[in-house]
Amino acid sequence: MIPIIYSDRAKKEIERLLDRASAANEKELAAVKAILADVKVRGDEAVLEYTCRFDCPDMTLERIRVTEDEVAAAYEKMSARLLSVMRRSAENIRAFHQQQKQKTWLDVQPGKTLGQLIRPLARVGVYVPGGTAAYPSSVLMNVLPAKVAGVKQIVMVTPAGKDGSIDPVTLVAAKEAGVDEIYKVGGAQAVGALAYGTDTFPRVDKITGPGNIYVALAKQEVFGQVGIDMIAGPSEVLVLADESANPAWTAADLLSQAEHDRMAAPILITDSESLAKAVAKELEKQLALLPRGEIAAASLKDHGGILVTPTLLEAVRLANAVAPEHLELLVKDPFDLMSRIENAGAIFLGHYSPEPLGDYFAGPNHVLPTNGTARFFSPLSVDDFVKKSSIVYYSKEALEEVYEQIAAFAEAEGLDAHARSALIRFEGGKEA
């Protein structure tokens, strides 16, 4: 099912595997623009109309906000074991992101003070996919860094099912993470409501969280009106392995991403031909056991690959070119190889650190750059939920030492008023 490609064709094959036509077609973009424009003008009326059309036909404005009673009912349906696991996961995520916090700092010197003032965003909107599926891990990963950053208000939107309900596990995750308000709305209309604000929906400063193509395009369109985290594409995992890797484990790790959707890219690069052949066989065997086998099979067929390179260093070179969302190093000495990795959203070291460990439990964020953007983007973090202001103070004596240099620089750019702003303070050798 999945071909084995050798080094002479590796580069072209990688390009083919990752060519997932991520750009939206004109019809999707036009639909998103129309919805956003409508929400901006008609507010709640438009949001409710689209929600009834796409998600819940009987939704009303009175039911659109989740109540405390609904949250309490969700807890009653939650298993004690899953709640315990969720709380442990939340502890790990919170502890990891605490390490990312930065403090306001001042560098005080004679006559001048420079520094950086760090403040949390006031209000953040978190989009969580819903409807027919539940993604409590997405709730924790988006909300907890914002809470650690000190965001004052967190508003969550998620599409309801046909009956107007939200999956109980999602509601419990939101409560555990500290969400302030939850609304039963999804799609481009939810993004518009958060970006522009309505009588019911508060306007936010930033929108984070994954969604379908309409959500991604809507976030792209409102960027500038509000901040966004990133434009997420289909999931991808690149497993870099040597002969020490277990073929069954390696295949399982590839399938853990292949089952996401048909556009996911599961790729193995190895310097061991015997491992490549064994993994190919394991993929066929395990694929037959998966409930989402049809989706995983399409992912493997269209965007999956096994590449054999002459050396591990050549494999690393290809991995850096891909800049994958998830990178697993299933090799004898993963820490040594890690030092050679330049581009990856998250790096999983060794045979006992499978990618789902990062998705659900370890603590680092699973909101990661995709489609090669790990070359310049980073995982979602506390930094995404704060803003930074520079601080500048000079005394008269400190400015007097440099004002002529400032003026010279300004005049070189043809900005005479800039120069005058510095010079005027010392005309005639004294303050004006």
Per-residue model confidence as pLDDT tens digits over 258-315: 998 888 999 999 999 999 999 999 999 999 999 999 999 999 998 899 999 999 999 9
Does the active-site annotation cover 326? yes
Averaged pLDDT, 224-240: 92
Rounded to whole angstroms, how far apart are CA atoms 170 and 279? 35
Which of 325, 328, 355, 366 is an active site residue? 325
Which of 326, 328, 351, 366 is an active site residue? 326
**CA 261 vs CA 12, 130, 189, 266: distances in Å:** 23, 15, 24, 11
Burial of 180 (0-12, 13-18, 19+ CB in 10 A): middle
Contacts of 101 (CB under 8 A, 6+ apart): 148, 149, 382
Contact 215, 187 (CB under 8 A): yes
Give, for 237, the enclosing helix (H) or strand (E).
strand 236-241
Per-residue model confidence as pLDDT tens digits over 305-331: 999 999 999 999 999 999 999 999 999
Which pLDDT belongs to residue 322? 92
CATH number of 26-228: 3.40.50.1980
Averaged pLDDT, 357-366: 96
Which pLDDT belongs to residue 10? 67
Rounded to whole angstroms, how far apart are CA atoms 274 and 247? 10
Does the active-site annotation cover 97? no
**CA 141 vs CA 51, 121, 347, 361, 392: distances in Å:** 25, 17, 17, 10, 35
Torsion of CA 264, 269, 273, 276, to 10 degrees: -20
- Tell me the pTM: 0.92
Rounded to whole angstroms, how far apart are CA atoms 238 and 257? 10
Which pLDDT belongs to residue 11? 67
Per-residue model confidence as pLDDT tens digits over 132-189: 678 999 999 999 999 999 999 999 999 999 999 999 999 999 999 999 999 999 999 9
Give, for 255, the enclosing helix (H) or strand (E).
helix 247-258
Q: In the chain, which segments carry CATH 3.40.50.1980?
A: 4-21+233-344, 26-228
Which pLDDT belongs to residue 432? 45
CATH of 4-21+233-344, one of 3.40.470.10, 3.40.50.1980, 3.40.50.10800, 3.40.630.30: 3.40.50.1980
